Structure 1
Amino acid sequence: MGVTLTGQLICANAAEAARVRAALDAHIRLTRAEPGCLSFTVVPTDDPLIWQVDEAFTDAAAFEAHQARAEGSDWARQTAGIERRYTVNGLT
């Protein structure tokens, strides 16, 4: 069974949103290139401070590898402290 993540990235202000926009393209490109990534989208909502996040990975190992890579990335540094409201399904 695959692993999915869905939810929202919620910026508190325009400065946080600018940090997301600056780092997002590289984060998407790197994630989609990871082994086991089935889909990965981060798209703006009608609210300019909120992005919808949807991810799908083949299995827990692929999802955990993504999490480990992302933790040490420029994305993690640029978006540190920004609220995330995510639900993850498929992990035991």
Structure 2
Amino acid sequence: MIKLTGRLVCTNSDETARIRRYLPAHTRLTKQEAGCLLFEVKETDDPLVWTVEELFESQESFDAHQARTKASVWGQETRTIAREYVITEVV
């Protein structure tokens, strides 16, 4: 399994508004992907920071998710938002 944990770090309220606008569809599409076991993006007490947790059953399913995400509306609209991720293999 492949686990991603980390944060989305916005620099301003415009970036936060983009997350709020595009996250629901991105979450729905991600949870429908083959191999997605967990996908959560949550607001923190800091309005500019969101936590991210993902779990995919294989490297292949994670790679497919990454490719879809990059080409998606979410990927394009949030590409300038900083991502601080740690990706690990879970055995």
Category of TM-score, reference length = shorter chain? over 0.9
Counterpart Cα distance in 2 of 1:69 and 1:42:
17
Deviations 1:1-49, CA, capped at 9 Å, x for gaps: x000000000000011001110000000000000000000000000111
TM-score calculated relative to the size of structure 1: 0.95
| Counterpart Cα distance in 1 of 2:54 and 2:73 | 19
Gaps of 5+ in 1: none
Q: Where does residue 68 of structure 2 map in the other structure?
A: 69
Please state if 1:29 is matched with 2:24.
Answer: no
Q: Which amino acid aligns with 1:57?
A: F
Quick one: distance in 1 between partners of 2:34 and 2:79?
A: 25
Where do 4+ consecutive residues of structure 1 move more than 4 Å?
none
- Corresponding residue number in structure 1 for 2:18: 19
State the AA in 2 paired with 1:61. Answer: E
Q: How far 1:78 sits from its partner (Å)?
A: 1.0
Q: Give the total of aligned pairs.
A: 90
Structure-to-structure mapping, 1:1-92, within 5 angstroms: 2-90=1-89
Query: CA deviation digits over 1:38-67, x for unaligned, max 9?
Result: 000000000111100000000100000000
Which consecutive unaligned segments of at least 5 residues does structure 2 have? none
Q: Percent identity?
A: 48
TM-score (norm 2): 0.97
Aligned-residue RMSD, C-alpha:
1.0
